[in-house]
């Protein structure tokens, strides 16, 4: 069954034309979390977390291992129920919505370790996502798959099995499969991990292009110089809490951030 998606356009998923002066987009947050708590028994992993990302914004999330960053992604994407708080998407309360419903609404994510269908080609991997999550069917799904492979630099490898490509192309495939669900927000979880400097440059170009297309990007990354080339706002987490957010340079200069993330003593 085809899922109606009124925002599907021939210029590619996630891309919207200029609305014009009389149809400006809502300036409020597209995705936001308020007072989010996640506990596993007596262990509190997220503690009263507030977060927001506006339409077309690129937000980076940093913090030490165990800060709760990936757990926040899981909460936003609906991977598990939260213990407390609220999550809203485009003004709608989605706190109780399951992951598939959120994906159909327009929230997509990638994972730190790619897990494609190894026995399928890159084209087939993306086609599955286009049909199952993007709302495309028939020739429209095929056309969308080809367009996404082109946008992510994978078109020359379209007929190559996923098991036969290198790490950079697997990372691109993660992005391509997320794009194939026709998202408005894409959550990138340490997509740069394990890549060489030259490969990182190519990945930065890809993500920067997605940002330029109007797609909202939320990116967790330990490779700061890559992250800071794309994001316009930075959020730092530590011990399950947001400890600073704002202009990237100001956040990285914050003594609390330097102590929590960089291991230096506060001034």
**200 & 240 share domain:** yes
**190 & 76 share domain:** yes
CATH number at residue 92: 3.40.50.300
**83 & 193 share domain:** yes
For the chain, strand residue ranges (E) read 29-40, 43-54, 58-62, 84-89, 92-93, 107-109, 185-189, 216-220, 233-238, 241-246
Strand order from edge to edge, sheet including 241-246: 107-109, 185-189, 216-220, 58-62, 233-238, 241-246
**170 & 136 share domain:** yes
Rounded CA separation 100/114 (Å): 19
**189 & 88 share domain:** yes
Range of the domain at 150: 118-180
Inside any domain, residue 58: yes
User: How does pLDDT run across 44-63, given as a tens digit for each residue?
Assistant: 999 999 999 999 999 999 99
User: How does pLDDT run across 75-127, given as a tens digit for each residue?
Assistant: 999 999 999 999 999 999 999 999 999 999 999 999 989 999 999 999 999 99
Q: How far is CA 130 from CA 48, 49, 123, in A?
A: 35, 32, 10
**101 & 125 share domain:** no
Domain end marker among 134, 155, 180: 180
**144 & 203 share domain:** no
Average pLDDT value for residue range 14-34: 60
Residues 12 and 147 sit within 8 Å (Cβ to Cβ): yes
Q: What are phi and psi of 107, to 5 degrees?
A: -110, 120
Rounded CA separation 166/236 (Å): 31
Inside any domain, residue 4: no
For the chain, what is the radius of gyration of the CA atoms? Answer: 18
Collapsed DSSP state (helix, strand, coil) of residue 239: coil
pLDDT number for residue 134 = 87
Inside any domain, residue 34: yes
Q: Helical H runs in 63-162?
A: 69-77, 99-105, 122-132, 138-151
**189 & 248 share domain:** yes
Total count of domains within the chain: 2
**42 & 146 share domain:** no
Inside any domain, residue 50: yes
**217 & 130 share domain:** no
pLDDT number for residue 8 = 32
Rounded CA separation 64/154 (Å): 33
The pTM of the full predicted model, rounded to 2 decimals, is: 0.86
Inside any domain, residue 12: no
Inside any domain, residue 242: yes
pLDDT number for residue 267 = 52
Q: What is the 3-state secondary structure (H, E, C) of 168-190?
A: HHHHHHHHHHHHCCCCCEEEEEC
Inside any domain, residue 23: no
User: How does pLDDT run across 155-184, given as a tens digit for each residue?
Assistant: 999 999 999 999 999 999 999 999 999 999
**91 & 152 share domain:** no
pLDDT number for residue 133 = 87
User: How does pLDDT run across 228-265, given as a tens digit for each residue?
Assistant: 999 999 999 999 999 999 999 999 999 988 887 666 55
**131 & 218 share domain:** no
Inside any domain, residue 54: yes
């Amino acid at each position: 069954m085809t899922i109606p998606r009124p925002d599907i356009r021939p210029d590619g998923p996630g891309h919207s034309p200029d609305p014009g002066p009389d149809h400006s987009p809502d300036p409020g947050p597209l995705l936001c979390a308020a007072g989010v708590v996640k506990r596993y028994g007596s262990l509190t992993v997220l503690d009263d977390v507030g977060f927001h990302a506006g339409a077309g914004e690129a937000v980076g999330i940093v913090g030490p291992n165990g800060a709760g960053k990936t757990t926040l992604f899981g909460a936003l994407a609906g991977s598990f129920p939260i213990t407390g708080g609220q999550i809203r998407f485009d003004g709608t309360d989605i706190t109780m919505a399951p992951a598939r419903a959120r994906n159909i609404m327009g929230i997509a994510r990638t994972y730190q370790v790619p897990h494609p269908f190894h026995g399928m080609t890159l084209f087939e991997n993306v086609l599955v996502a286009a049909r199952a999550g993007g709302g495309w069917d028939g020739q429209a799904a095929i056309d969308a798959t080809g367009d996404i492979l082109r946008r992510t630099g994978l078109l020359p490898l379209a007929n190559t099995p996923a098991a036969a490509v290198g790490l950079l192309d697997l990372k691109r495939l993660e992005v391509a499969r997320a794009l194939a669900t026709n998202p408005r927000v894409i959550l990138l979880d340490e997509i740069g991990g394990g890549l060489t400097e030259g490969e990182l440059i190519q990945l930065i170009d890809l993500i920067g292009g997605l940002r330029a297309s109007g797609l909202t990007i939320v990116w967790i990354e330990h490779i700061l110089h890559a992250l800071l080339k794309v994001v316009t706002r930075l959020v730092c987490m530590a011990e399950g809490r947001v400890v600073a957010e704002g202009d990237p340079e100001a956040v990285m200069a914050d003594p609390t951030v330097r102590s929590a993330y960089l291991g230096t003593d506060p001034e």
